[in-house]
Amino acid sequence: MTTIFLTATGTEIGKTLVARGLIRALRTKGRVVEALKPVVSGFDPHEAEGSDPGLLLSTLGQPITPDGIARTSPFRFTAPVSPHLAARREGKKIDFNAIVELCRWRMQAATGVLLIEGVGGVMAPLDEHRTVVDWMIALGQPVILITGSYLGALSHTYSAVDVLERRNLNITSLIVNETAGSTVPFSDTVESIRTFCSNLDIQGLPWLANGNLDHPVFDHLAEQL
């Protein structure tokens, strides 16, 4: 059994895209794979098919049912804001310990590769005291970090890498997912990140490949597992 935690420098960067591509590559190779995205904000039950858990289920070849959604993402909130704020708007609090225990239980029960997708960025708050990085520390599993190529991505990427490395989390790959309409050339961003993060496996995912779950980058990630 192998567990990988997918995180990002921020929200809407491409965590679910990379998770889906990796699922597709693993399934093509005949590997058993499961996916879990425990916390979701901005979830609309009327648009379940296009939601993150819905997309994960469809890529896994599983039906998009209420039970499937609940199994994949048990902590779902309507507001498209930070998880702790989304929960607060509904008069709730995210139970950090419950999230960790759920992940540990799924890790123990998994018979193949388990992908755990985080929420927001590395430092997205889950409650008043803990963030996604605390969640990753509690699990202690290898991490795939996803970033973009927007103006400011370099600072966000280096900050995220620093946070993860200072906490002894193993970054197996850093994926640069090209940001559509960015004023910064994609190749410049990838080259700069490769220079500053030369100890990491850096992979560029061009915008033209966005949505293409057969891109070679995903095969590369699958071969590492």
Q: How many structural domains compose the chain?
A: 1
Alpha helices in 95-185 (DSSP H): 96-109, 132-139, 153-166
Q: Which pLDDT tens digit goes with each residue over 170-213?
A: 999 999 999 999 999 999 999 999 999 999 999 999 986 566 78
Question: What's the CATH number where 70 sits?
Answer: 3.40.50.300
* Nearest alpha-carbon partner for 73 in 58, 88, 52, 93: 52
Let me know: does 145 contact 171? Beta carbons within 8 Å. Answer: yes
**Domain interval for residue 63:** 2-223
Q: Which pLDDT tens digit goes with each residue over 52-92?
A: 999 999 999 999 999 999 999 999 999 999 999 999 999 99
The fraction of the chain above a pLDDT of 90, given in percent, is 95
Crossing angle of the two packed helices 96-109 and 132-139, in degrees rounded to 10 = 40
Known catalytic residues are: 37
In the predicted model, what is the mean pLDDT of the chain?
95
